[in-house]
Amino acid sequence: MGEDSRVTIKLTSDEALVLSHWLEQLQMTDLGRVVDDPAVWAPIHRIAGTLDKALPELFASDYDQRLEAARQRLRPEG
């Protein structure tokens, strides 16, 4: 893959919301302790930033309820 190549990842809105929340939590931890390769930090920040821009739900007054509903829909049955 060349340096100019791009990869596109498609997520449902539920997947994007849950992943965005998880990445935010990850970034608020000691990232170096959780992710042992600093080369991974840049893509983590890029993905989190892209999700932040794409999700108006992050600023909704009922964010917690939307996040929990998305989690419930994504969890496997049983």
Tens digits of residue pLDDT in 49-69: 999 999 988 888 999 999 999
Q: Give the model's pLDDT for residue 27.
A: 83
Report the distance separating Cα 78 and Cα 72, nearest Å.
Answer: 12
Helix (H, G, I), strand (E, B) or coil at 61: coil
Q: For residues 7, 13, 17 and 19, what is the CA-based torsion angle, rounded to 10 degrees?
A: -40
Average pLDDT score, the chain = 88
Domain segments of the chain as ranges = 13-74
Residue carrying the six token digits 């498609």: 10
What is the reported pTM?
Answer: 0.81
Tens digits of residue pLDDT in 10-33: 999 999 999 999 999 888 887 778
Closest CA to 41 of 26, 58, 54, 62: 26
Number of H helices, E strands in the chain: 4, 0
